[in-house]
Structure 1
Amino acid sequence: MIARILGTACFVGYLRPAPGTWGSLAALPLAWVLHQLGGFPGLALAAVAYFIAAWWATAQMTADGGDHDPSEIVADEVVGQWIALFPLSYAAWDRGLDILVMWPGWVAAFVLFRLFDIWKPWLVGWADQRGDALGVMLDDVIAGVFAAIGVMLLAALAHGVLMA
């Protein structure tokens, strides 16, 4: 039962349609709370801890050898979405800003993460094709990293850093 609670992100994974999108959406207010409580270090530590717990939960939930990535497992989306928000959390923590001031970045992080998670380009697809619990987790971690890079590039563009 603990594996099911962790793997489905407190049963969010049973919401339909698009449980992965629901998981990503649920990650947003949790990220805000974690950031408020511990800044960027708190969010990063929570992401690492939940990754480990979710990896275990995913292995437990897929141990029967059936579907290696059942749609109700959305803990991977939560972790990936948190990673996509890392640039915002770090910037807000480092500069003493209210993280919600960067709301366009939140939108970008959500949209980019969902895009990379669904599209599965390059390393995201490689991780997804592993066919094991680690692959289930890694594809969303990598999608989160790609989304975080996209957020930083969009922020640089928006603030004139990349303009000549």
Structure 2
Amino acid sequence: MHRMIATWFGAGDIRPAPGTWGSAVAVALGVVIHWIGSFPLLALATIAVTALGFWSVSHYTKGMEDPDRSEIVIDEVAGQWLALCFPSYGFWHAGLPSTEFPWPGWLAAFLLFRLFDIWKPWIIGRADREGGTMGVMMDDLWAGVFAGLTTMICAGIWHGLIA
């Protein structure tokens, strides 16, 4: 069961680039969660999957020399949903119906999350080097924060200066 959760029901077994596949699956499911219950439901789901990630990764990797295994993608799900929470909140705050989650918002969150997760600047890289369950989860959560903030900055520039 721990492996099933840690690999997000097999998404982490897809090759090549299991982290990207895990993120893509997370975006698709995150958009559906937004459609069902808008930002509040996505925020709750993000908290739940983050807690589930810490739990499943710690159990799945117990006794492993390197716990940051490529098939573990629950960390990508948690980080990607955190990144999606930023535009989701913006649409919810603007009073848009939950069935509206325009593609630039979720696409930017996806692309920026992958950028920060691969690049690992500053605190993201520091979290990754921490190792263990904390390192596995925290680098993706920080990448989610960076991606979410950058998505909102881009949206502000687009809507405030360009459009």
Q: TM-score, normalised by structure 1?
A: 0.92
Matched positions, count: 161
Unaligned runs of 5+ in 2: none
**In structure 1, C-alpha distance between the alignment counterparts of 2:48 and 2:101, rounded to whole Å:** 27
Q: Please tell me the residue identity of whatever aligns with 2:121.
A: P
SS in 2 for 1:64: coil
Equivalent pair of 1:7/1:73 in contact (CA under 8 Å):
yes
* Number of the residue aligned with 2:111: 111
* Number of the residue aligned with 1:129: 129
Any residues of structure 2 matched to 1:1-164 within 5 Å, and which?
Answer: 2-98=1-97, 100-160=100-160
Equivalent pair of 2:35/2:101 in contact (CA under 8 Å):
no
Q: Please tell me the residue identity of whatever aligns with 1:159.
A: H
**In structure 1, C-alpha distance between the alignment counterparts of 2:34 and 2:100, rounded to whole Å:** 11
Superposed displacement of residue 46, structure 1: 0.7
Superposed displacement of residue 101, structure 1: 5.0
1:9-31 Cα deviation digits (max 9, x unpaired): 01100000000000000001211
Equivalent pair of 1:88/1:102 in contact (CA under 8 Å):
no
| Cα distance, 1:24–1:34 mapped onto 2, change above 3 Å | same
**In structure 2, C-alpha distance between the alignment counterparts of 1:124 and 1:54, rounded to whole Å:** 17
The CA RMSD over aligned residues, in Å, is: 1.5
Q: Please tell me the residue identity of whatever aligns with 1:65.
A: M
**In structure 2, C-alpha distance between the alignment counterparts of 1:97 and 1:29, rounded to whole Å:** 19
**In structure 1, C-alpha distance between the alignment counterparts of 2:68 and 2:5, rounded to whole Å:** 15
**In structure 2, C-alpha distance between the alignment counterparts of 1:39 and 1:155, rounded to whole Å:** 19
Unaligned runs of 5+ in 1: none
1:106-131 Cα deviation digits (max 9, x unpaired): 22111110000001111101110111
% of aligned pairs identical? 50
Q: TM-score, normalised by structure 2?
A: 0.93
Superposed displacement of residue 37, structure 1: 2.2
**In structure 2, C-alpha distance between the alignment counterparts of 1:150 and 1:7, rounded to whole Å:** 27
Superposed displacement of residue 95, structure 1: 2.6
